[in-house]
A and B are shown apart, each in its own frame.
Chain A
Amino acid sequence: MSFIPAPISRFFHRTASPPHFYALADKLMPWLTALFLLLLIPGLYGGLVMAPADYQQGDSYRIIYIHVPAAWMSLFIYVMMAVMGGIALVWRMKLAEVMLISSAPIGAGFTFVALVTGSLWGKPMWGTWWVWDARLTSELILLFLYLGVTSLYGAIEDKRSAARAVSILALVGVVNIPIIHYSVEWWNTLHQGPTVSKMDKPSIHISMLIPLLLMAVAFKVYYAIAVLQAAKLELIRREPSAQWVKNLLEHKA
């Protein structure tokens, strides 16, 4: 760690200590919630009400405002997990382990949402619930990767080892994601199925784009809120008899 200036490293260690982090999360929460609503409400209004219907797909395209941001988030969170995993492995930082494992269910949730909304969007477009289209297939594989992370963490009893295992797995996964993605894309163009790539870009108009971006940022803020909540739980679970938890209990009582 010698290449990091001492004050910065000290700052990180202080912030990363469980009681500090716990208090910080509490302090941030109202601001994040306000920001989330400030993004979500105009995003939804713009997407569901203001934006005109698509000339080809009618109103069904409005699923895009959750499908695409959810798909972005599913990838973004996996990359975040790998970054946390790297930090946890190199600096043995407990907070990074906690953030990693707290992110997994949220990422899996977004992946699930992307799959279900993709299927619900596909039904009126393709006439069937499922098509082996490149994006849906990649998303499905990503869901398996998330499930691998959560079930490996659950299976290893010693939670410090489990966190190390999951850090390694997240890093291996993130190296493989582009390979999987391109192989699936390539496979998809090879076996031209009944793919209708209407789902890709319905020549997006600015009035459609703004709500999409608002929703995308809103989902990112949601992730911050949800991961902080999950991390608070995980921190207490990790060391239920630590002094700071005792102080917390007394403070509550």
Chain B
Amino acid sequence: MEYSHSAKLDIAELSCSRDDRQLFSGLSFSLQRGQVLLLEGSNGSGKTTLLRILCGFRPADGGQIYWIGQPLAGSSYFADMAYVGHADGIKKELTVLENLRFALALSQPGHYSIEQALQKVQLAGYDDNLVQTLSAGQKRRLSLARLLVTHNILWILDEPFTSLDKQGIELIETLMDDHVKNGGMVILTSHHDLSLSHLSLQRIHLDSCL
């Protein structure tokens, strides 16, 4: 899968308030291929809200978001991004394989085949297990496998490390590392300290963006 080389996310003067309280304002940054952005801030500082704005779920109160120089609505943004939030977005009455096939049907195929992806997230051999029989950590890994089988450049991850053990955390770090090395981008929130090998890690502290 060829990435468009210029892929770039630009945020300009973004602001958002909730229940008459300003969460952040004048937030600007840009993210290029091969970069990771870590959002930090205390609880209620608007990390999740910012991610949901970036997913288009919530309108911002002000400011612009551009994908490859174009406003989101007219760009290929939604074909180029993928999101894993608090809810896994997988159906517990379906098998692992059925879930991934459905995700693939809604999107373009990505780098990895379903088989390879399951291998990577250490769920190989679980193909025909119903998701409700999986542990919380396995479910989370399955939702990450979705990122691998579908085409995407930008990953938006909300607290991806919750309900994962040490091994699982290392696994995600490897996945992100691979993704970024292949020219992907990641935006994530986390309470966990990141140990990524490369240097292009941006941090934004939302408490200071008022």
Whether A250 sits at the interface, judged by CB under 8 Å, is no
- The B interface, classified by DSSP as helix, strand, loop or mixed, is loop
Whether B71 sits at the interface, judged by CB under 8 Å, is no
Whether A26 sits at the interface, judged by CB under 8 Å, is no
- Closest-CB distance, B60 to chain A (whole angstroms): 10
Collect the chain A residues with CB atoms within 8 Å of residue B63's CB.
Answer: none
Instruction: Please measure, in the bound complex, the distance between the C-alpha atom of A240 and the C-alpha atom of B21, giving whole angstroms.
Output: 10
Q: Are A158 and B20 in contact (CB under 8 A)?
A: no
Interface residue ranges, B against A (CB under 8 Å): 18-21, 59
Q: Are B59 and A240 in contact (CB under 8 A)?
A: no
Instruction: Please measure, in the bound complex, the distance between the C-alpha atom of A163 and the C-alpha atom of B81, giving whole angstroms.
Output: 29
Chain A interface, number of residues (Cβ within 8 angstroms): 8
CB-based nearest B residue for A239: B20
Collect the chain B residues with CB atoms within 8 Å of residue A242's CB.
Answer: 20
- Closest-CB distance, B198 to chain A (whole angstroms): 39
Instruction: Please measure, in the bound complex, the distance between the C-alpha atom of A90 and the C-alpha atom of B88, giving whole angstroms.
Output: 32
Collect the chain A residues with CB atoms within 8 Å of residue B59's CB.
Answer: 92, 160
Q: Are B20 and A240 in contact (CB under 8 A)?
A: yes
- Closest-CB distance, B6 to chain A (whole angstroms): 26
Within 8 A of B (CB), among A86-140: 92
CB-based nearest B residue for A160: B59
Whether A241 sits at the interface, judged by CB under 8 Å, is yes
- Closest-CB distance, A234 to chain B (whole angstroms): 13
- Which of B18, B19, B20, B21 counts the most A-chain CB atoms under 10 A from its CB? B20
CB-based nearest B residue for A240: B20
Interface residue ranges, A against B (CB under 8 Å): 92, 158, 160, 238-242
Instruction: Please measure, in the bound complex, the distance between the C-alpha atom of A204 and the C-alpha atom of B179, giving whole angstroms.
Output: 79
Instruction: Please measure, in the bound complex, the distance between the C-alpha atom of A242 and the C-alpha atom of B20, giving whole angstroms.
Output: 8
A-B contact list, 10 entries, CB within 8 Å = A92-B59, A158-B18, A158-B19, A160-B59, A238-B20, A239-B20, A240-B20, A241-B20, A241-B21, A242-B20
Instruction: Please measure, in the bound complex, the distance between the C-alpha atom of A239 and the C-alpha atom of B19, giving whole angstroms.
Output: 8
CB-based nearest B residue for A159: B19
Instruction: Please measure, in the bound complex, the distance between the C-alpha atom of A92 and the C-alpha atom of B19, giving whole angstroms.
Output: 17
CB-based nearest A residue for B22: A241
Instruction: Please measure, in the bound complex, the distance between the C-alpha atom of A238 and the C-alpha atom of B18, giving whole angstroms.
Output: 11
Collect the chain A residues with CB atoms within 8 Å of residue B20's CB.
Answer: 238-242
- Closest-CB distance, B175 to chain A (whole angstroms): 34
CB-based nearest A residue for B17: A239
Collect the chain A residues with CB atoms within 8 Å of residue B19's CB.
Answer: 158
Instruction: Please measure, in the bound complex, the distance between the C-alpha atom of A6 and the C-alpha atom of B59, giving whole angstroms.
Output: 24
Collect the chain B residues with CB atoms within 8 Å of residue A160's CB.
Answer: 59
Collect the chain B residues with CB atoms within 8 Å of residue A158's CB.
Answer: 18-19
Collect the chain B residues with CB atoms within 8 Å of residue A241's CB.
Answer: 20-21
Instruction: Please measure, in the bound complex, the distance between the C-alpha atom of A241 and the C-alpha atom of B17, giving whole angstroms.
Output: 12
Instruction: Please measure, in the bound complex, the distance between the C-alpha atom of A158 and the C-alpha atom of B17, giving whole angstroms.
Output: 11
